[in-house]
């Protein structure tokens, strides 16, 4: 049998860990949308003194990789402090599952992003966040690095898919080294927008294809 998924991933898919809702959660976050095809919701219970994650549960509307990465992340962060949890990367989650097909790397990014959003939500609720600073071009680039090149399984900045990013007066223009009718053009554009639209001082996102 030659399914594209490893044994560990399939095990998490068949029997996901820490599934469900925490009714009295200290924080929660949902990332993704039906438009992007995957949605993950994470619930956290955090020890107020130690900032350790006491309990975590997830719900997923998504494919096998999505369910499995969300499941493995809940295992990875349980018992960790929120600072330790923030340091977990999508690559770590993918490695923990024995790797993901390149085209599925974005699923592990979504799971990690949801974890970070849930932690941010906790920090906001508990007054651990300082004032909003204007977003820099580098911070935008960092967000774009969460978009995967589906062929290579690495982020689109690293693979040179992003030619340039221009950020002026709330307008972001992302120049892509792609043809408009590239097989993945629509998907990559949607994912970039998904990454950037929640940044507070971005008003408009333009995606341009340079080939």
Name the site residues for another protein (rule: CB under 8 A). Answer: 3, 10, 13-14, 16, 19-21, 30, 33-41, 58-67, 103-104, 106-107, 150, 181, 183-184, 186-187
36 is catalytic: yes
63 is catalytic: no
Q: How far is the CB of 170 from another protein (least distance, A)?
A: 28
Catalytic choice (11, 19, 30, 36): 36
8-state DSSP, 93: H
Catalytic choice (107, 109, 112, 178): 107
Q: Which two tokens stand for residue 102?
A: 């390149």
Name the nearest CA neighbour of 206 among 171, 161, 154.
Answer: 171
Contact 60, 115 (CB under 8 A): no
Q: Which two tokens stand for residue 181?
A: 């009718």
Q: How far is the CB of 63 from another protein (least distance, A)?
A: 4
Q: What residues contact residue 67 under an 8 Å CB cut-off, 6+ apart?
A: 12, 13, 16, 60
Q: How far is the CB of 44 from another protein (least distance, A)?
A: 15
Q: Residue 39 or residue 56: which is nearer to another protein going by CB?
A: 39
Name the nearest CA neighbour of 109 among 14, 31, 27.
Answer: 31
Residues annotated as catalytic are 36, 107
């Amino acid at each position: 049998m030659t399914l594209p998924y490893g044994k560990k991933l399939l095990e998490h898919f068949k029997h996901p860990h820490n599934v469900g809702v925490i009714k009295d959660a200290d924080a929660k976050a949902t990332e993704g949308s039906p438009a992007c095809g995957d949605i993950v919701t994470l619930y956290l219970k955090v020890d107020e003194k130690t900032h350790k994650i006491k309990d975590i549960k997830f719900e997923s509307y998504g494919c096998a990789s999505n369910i499995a990465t969300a499941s493995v992340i809940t295992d990875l962060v349980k018992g960790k402090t929120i600072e330790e949890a923030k340091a977990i990367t999508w690559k770590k989650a993918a490695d923990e599952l024995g790797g993901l097909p390149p085209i599925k790397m974005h699923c592990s990014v979504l799971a990690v992003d949801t974890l970070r959003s849930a932690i941010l939500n906790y920090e906001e609720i508990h007054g651990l966040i300082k004032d909003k600073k204007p977003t820099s071009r580098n911070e935008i680039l960092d967000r774009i690095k969460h978009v995967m090149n589906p062929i290579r399984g690495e982020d689109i900045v690293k693979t040179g898919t992003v030619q340039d990013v221009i950020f002026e007066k709330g307008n972001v223009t992302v120049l892509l080294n792609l043809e408009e009718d590239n097989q993945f053009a629509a998907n990559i554009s949607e994912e970039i927008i998904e990454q950037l639209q929640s940044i507070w001082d971005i008003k408009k996102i333009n995606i341009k294809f340079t080939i």
